[in-house]
Amino acid sequence: MSQNVHFLTLATPDLDAARRFYVDGLGWNALLDVPEEILFFQIAPGLLLGLFDAEKFDQDLQRGSTVREASGVTLAHNVDSEDAVRSTVATMRAAGGEVLTEPAPGEFGGIFHAHVADPNGVIWEIAHNPGWSVEADGTVRLG
């Protein structure tokens, strides 16, 4: 099994709130938007983020579960500087995000970061990480 993820799908209780946050607030472009069902964004080469209506998410898994939002998961967005962490967090707050931890030095790796929840409780880490880089071919380097 090759080491690739092609879709990252999150149970989303309020798809309209997600659209307001990502499209109207952050200016993202949806690849596909099916109201009351799913909203797709491309978030890396070859990878889509699917925000999937929480009830349909449950039905699709046929597990009879009552998962109503994503938990135990964070999405990280890296930026070039500590100032860019602050400005990105300000943008997310203005778009309706809830700042969980204000921009501050992290506990390891020399990073500077903050955590922001989107309107559906999806937690983003906005970080400047001097030890992280991506080569031209997409290979990630750490440390």
x/- letters, 43..62, toward a second copy (CB under 8 A): xxxxxxx----x--x--xxx
Asked if 64 interacts with a second copy (CB under 8 A), we say: no
Decide: is 39 part of the binding site for a second copy (CB under 8 A).
no
Angle at 33 between CA 31 and CA 34, to 5 degrees: 145
Structure tokens at 8: 């990252």
Question: x/- binding map, residues 76-105, to a second copy, per CB under 8 A?
Answer: xxx---------x--xx-------xx----
Is-contact 70 121, C-beta < 8 A?
yes
Q: How far apart are CA 137 and CA 143, in angstroms?
A: 18
Rounded CA-CA distance 52/25 in Å is 19
Residues found near a second copy in the complex (CB under 8 A): 1-11, 26-29, 31-32, 40-49, 54, 57, 60-63, 67-78, 88, 91-92, 100-101, 107, 115, 123, 125, 132, 134, 137-140, 142-143
